[in-house]
């Protein structure tokens, strides 16, 4: 097992990073009154860990006994019926699913399947809780329609069904849903917290972890705890007696974007843009989300850029990302950003150096 999974806290008591939140949640649950919950925060901050610990707090160990079910649902959509495939994780007391997987058909999942699940009272009425829990992942990927249909469900079956929603950004969740939930923001852990966690793991594993090395890992992890722990384990595998100068292996896709950025800085021409396009395609093919590519690319470009241009480049990055989110073909917009950057940079070079 990876350390990420091995040292994942199982109960609310063991949670170290978001201790306060964990304690609050514990109080909330033990008082028998659980509202709908909306967890949001950046990736790798510990949302799911908190949710799992919370479930365990609610239902005890039985919550950890889950089974995977991949089922095809037949949904009546007006005149025709649609088959929707959906994978759920369920225990006796809770069901976990990602309705965003269905793409544009997510409306039917919310309207039919989630409703169906919410309707059914838990069979085991002798259990501690009189309700069951639906965990919905990636709520921010739900379409507007789906979110609208969700809010009625939330109210109607609230007596015996609680929803725990989980997403990266609450801004893409409609106001109506947010107001029906207790919003729990999960911050990205600070670097000190990451360092502490790494040291805890090091102790458990019996490793000699130099503190500056831990700090470096924490710094490179971009405040992503998962990435920090994975990096630590990678370093451990590559070279055990840690030296503080040890290289921390980078993410390959980030390396690749760095290469692209170098390419862009070297030459600005349609021909080069064409090469860059090929590389961008490579990234997209490997399922790296375009937003992340654009963000990272901007980051890499800014590092190499004259301060004068930074503001303008940032502006255009925001502009093109906005268009990218509105549009469909991400490559058009990323490429347009690269072209824009090339144009600005080239103009700048000509102006400065003649």
Partner 1 sequence: MLESNAHLLEDYPDLEPPEPYPEEDQEAPPAAQPPPSPDLQFDPEVQIIGHKRSRSDSPDVSLSEAVRPSEEKRGRADDSVRENDEDWLRYSPSQGSDHAVEERVNFVKEKMLSRYASEIDGECMPVTAPNGDRVYAKLNRSEGEERLKKLDVRANSHDLISEPINILFEKLEQEAFTKTLKASTECESVPDVPETPVVHEKLWVDKYTPKSFTELLSDEHTNREVLLWLKQWDSSVFGSEIRSTSDEVLSALKRHSTVAHHQKPLDSKFSRMKRGPKWSNNTYRHSKSMDETGNSNSIQDILNKKSKHIGPPEQKILLLCGPPGLGKTTLAHVAGRHCGYHVVEVNASDDRSTSTIEAKILDVVQMNSVMSDSRPKCLVVDEIDGALTDGKGAVEVLLKMVSAEKKSDVGKETLAKEHPGRKSSKKGRHTTSLSRPVICICNDLYAPALRPLRQVAKLWEDDGVSSSHTGFTYLFNQQLAVWLKYICNKEGMKANAIALTALAEYTECDIRSCLNTLQFLSKKKETLNAFPFVCCWKNQRIVLYVRGREYISKTCLILASLIDYQEKYLAAVFFGFEDYAMKNKINGFSKFDIGSQVVGRKDVSRNVLDVWKEVFQRKKTKMERKSCSSKPFEFNSLYSLLSNRGDGDLILDGIHENILQLSYHDPVMQKTVKCLNSLGVYDLLHQYIMRTQQMPLQVYLPSIAITVNRLVAQVQKPNIEWPRSYQRFRTMMTEKMDILNTWHYKIPPQIARHLSAVSFVEDLISPLLHILTPPSLKPVALQLLSDKEKKDLVQLVSTMVSYSITYKNTKSDVLPNSLRHVVADDLSLDPPIGGFINFKDYTSNHYVLSLAMKQIIVHEVEKQKILQVNIDRHSGNESSSGRHELIEAGTSNAQSSKINHAAEISVKNIQNENNIWEARKYNANAAIVSPNLHPDKGVTDNVKLLNTGSMKKPSAGSFFDRFRKLSSKGLQSDDRTEKKEASLEIDSRPLLFKFNECKIILCGVEVHSFKGIGYVSKENFRSHSMHFSLLKHNGKKPYQSKAKMFKASAIGKLVLKPCYLTV
> According to DSSP H, which parts of 60-188 are helical?
106-108, 115-119, 144-156, 175-180
Pick one of 30, 87, 159, 179: the residue that binds partner 1 (CB under 8 A). Answer: 87
Residue 130 lies near partner 1 (rule: CB under 8 A): no
Instruction: Tell me whether residue 14 or residue 346 sits nearer to partner 1 (CB atom).
Output: 346
What is the total count of residues that contact partner 1 (CB under 8 A)? 80
Q: Which is nearer to partner 1, 157 or 273 (CB)?
A: 273
Measured in degrees and rounded to the nearest 5, phi and psi for residue 33 equal -115, 110
CA-to-CA distance for 276 and 35, rounded, in angstroms?
49
Nearer to partner 1, 181 or 260 (CB): 260
Contact status: 340 vs partner 1 (CB under 8 A): yes
Burial 60-94 (b: 16+ CB within 10 A, else e): eebbeebeeeeeebebeeeeeeeebebebebbebb
Q: Which of residues 41-80 bind partner 1 (CB under 8 A)?
A: 43-44, 48-49, 52, 61-62, 64-68, 70
Q: Least distance in Å: CB of 182 to partner 1?
A: 22
- Give DSSP secondary structure letters for 312-331: HHHHHHHHHHHHHHHSS-HH
Cα-flanking dihedrals φ and ψ of residue 66, to 5°?
A: -120, 155
- Residue from 8, 36, 107, 129 that binds partner 1 (CB under 8 A)? 8
* By CB under 8 A, residue 39 contacts partner 1: no
Return the number of the residue (215 or 331) whose C-beta is nearest partner 1.
Answer: 331
Span from 23-31, 180-188, 191-199, 244-252 in contact with partner 1 (CB under 8 A): 244-252
Check residue 279 for interaction with partner 1 (CB under 8 A). yes
When binding is defined by CB under 8 A, the residue of 286, 303, 306, 318 that contacts partner 1 is 286
CA distance 159 to 22: 24
- Say whether residue 304 binds partner 1 (CB under 8 A): no
Q: Which of 138, 140, 191, 199 touches partner 1 (CB under 8 A)?
A: 138
CA distance 81 to 231: 47
Helix, coil or strand: residue 286: coil
Bridge partners of 76, per DSSP, are 81
Binding range to partner 1, per CB under 8 A, among 16-24, 187-195, 248-256, 299-307? 248-256
Residue 182 burial class via C-beta count within 10 angstroms: exposed 0-12, middle 13-18, buried 19 and up? middle
Residue 147 binding partner 1, by CB under 8 A:
no
């Amino acid at each position: 097992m990876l350390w990420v999974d091995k040292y994942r806290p199982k109960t609310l008591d063991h949670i170290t990073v978001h201790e306060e939140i964990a304690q609050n949640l514990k109080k909330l649950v033990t008082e028998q009154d659980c509202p709908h919950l909306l967890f949001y925060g950046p990736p790798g901050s510990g949302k799911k860990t908190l949710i799992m610990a919370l479930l365990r707090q609610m239902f005890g160990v039985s919550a950890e006994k889950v089974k995977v079910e991949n089922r095809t649902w037949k949904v009546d959509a007006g005149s025709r019926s649609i088959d929707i495939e959906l994978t759920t994780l369920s225990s006796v007391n809770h069901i976990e699913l990602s309705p965003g997987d269905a793409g544009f058909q997510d409306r039917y999942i919310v309207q039919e399947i989630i409703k169906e699940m919410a309707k059914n009272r838990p069979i085991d009425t002798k259990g501690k809780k009189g309700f069951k829990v639906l965990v919905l992942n990636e709520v921010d990927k739900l379409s507007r329609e789906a979110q609208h249909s969700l809010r009625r469900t939330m109210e109607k079956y609230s007596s015996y069904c609680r929803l725990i929603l989980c997403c990266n950004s609450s801004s893409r969740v409609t106001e109506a849903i947010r107001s029906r939930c207790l919003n729990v923001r999960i911050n990205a852990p600070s670097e000190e917290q990451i360092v502490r966690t790494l040291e805890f793991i090091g102790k458990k594993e019996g490793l000699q972890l130099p503190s500056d090395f831990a700090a470096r890992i924490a710094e490179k992890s971009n405040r992503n705890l998962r990435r920090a722990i994975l990096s630590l384990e990678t370093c451990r595998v590559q070279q055990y007696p840690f030296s503080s100068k040890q290289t921390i292996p980078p993410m390959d896709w980030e390396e690749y974007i760095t290469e692209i950025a170098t390419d862009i800085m070297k030459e600005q021409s349609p021909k080069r843009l064409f090469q860059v396009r090929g590389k961008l395609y490579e990234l997209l093919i490997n399922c790296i989300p375009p937003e992340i590519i654009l963000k990272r690319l901007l980051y890499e470009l800014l590092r190499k850029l004259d301060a004068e241009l930074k503001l303008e480049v940032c502006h255009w990055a925001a502009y093109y990302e906005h268009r990218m989110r509105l549009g469909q073909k991400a490559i058009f917009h990323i490429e347009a950003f690269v072209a824009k950057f090339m144009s600005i940079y080239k103009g700048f070079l000509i102006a400065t150096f003649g």
